[in-house]
Amino acid sequence: MMKTFADKIISFNKNISYKGGLPDKVSIMNPFKENREALRISSLFYKKFYDDHNKRHIIFGINPGRFGAGITGVPFTDTKRLLSECGIEFPGKSTHEPSATFVYEVINQYGGVKKFYNDFYIQSLCPLGFTITNAAGKEINYNYYDSNELTDCVYAFILANIKKQISFGISTNVCFLFGTGKNARFFKKINDEFHFFKKVIPLEHPRFIMQYKAKSKDIYLKKYIDAFSEANG
């Protein structure tokens, strides 16, 4: 029997691992290996919304953060949204992630979770996250582009995982990026070389909007909805 979109994602999550080097004080974050609930909960999510053979457009974030996908295994979905919007309970501590708040406002404006996830698949350019120990000895989120050394280390890993995910059944006429700065510049360079997608549309990152542009949030909600309507136009 042919694998569904959900089956392909779940298999991808089960098997994903990073075996390359890392700069000093940087650690890899793999929720599917480190958090026993992440694989189970994310699998429930994907079976609920992706258990079909439909083609979808991909949206690339940066890399998973500790309180969103780092906990739930689902990009831009914290435990609060997992329950309130997706109807999936997460045992343990409730987490709140500002990016998830904005993304689910977009999803609701688009027409709700069923409609949105029928049309889109959200992932991160680097599907595993990173943390770094800061000067105070605290572990904080770190992005793949925060140092040239880390970018060089994970470049082949990122490339391989873009190719794998396109094979799930991704439409290649247009893709979307969360992040108009370094994330967009990095991916556009890759896309210019490998021609994965005919068009790339960067959008301001949800965390940037919530942190710095909250008063103008409605402008960005409209921008997102207008951009996503282009995918199906």
What is the identity of the amino acid at 140? I
d(CA 102, CA 150): 28
**CB atoms < 10 A from the CB of 75, how many?**
24
Q: What is the pLDDT of residues 137-192, one digit of tens each?
A: 888 889 999 999 999 999 999 999 999 999 999 999 999 999 999 999 999 999 99
pLDDT at 28 (0 to 100): 92
- The predicted-structure confidence for 11-51, as pLDDT tens digits, reads as follows 999 999 999 999 988 999 998 988 888 999 999 999 999 99
Q: So where are the chain's domains?
A: 7-12+23-227
Beta strands in 108-211 (DSSP E): 120-124, 129-133, 139-142, 175-178, 200-203
Closest CA to 177 of 151, 208, 152, 147: 208
What is the pLDDT confidence band of residue 68, given thresholds at 50, 70 and 90?
low
Q: Please identify which residue in the block is written with the tokens 């991808």.
A: 12
**Side by side, which strands form the sheet with 129-133?**
26-29, 129-133, 139-142
User: For residue 58, is pLDDT > 70?
Assistant: yes
Percent of the chain residues past pLDDT 90, beyond the cut: 77
Query: For residue 86, what are its two tokens?
Result: 């997706």
> Distance between CA atoms of 157 and 19, rounded to whole angstroms?
9
Question: Average pLDDT, stretch 91-110?
Answer: 90
Which pTM does this prediction carry? Answer: 0.94
Distances (CA, A) of 62 to 41, 52, 88: 22, 26, 25
Architecture of domain 7-12+23-227: 3-Layer(aba) Sandwich (3.40)
What's the pLDDT at 96? 83
Distances (CA, A) of 163 to 69, 152, 156, 191: 21, 18, 11, 11
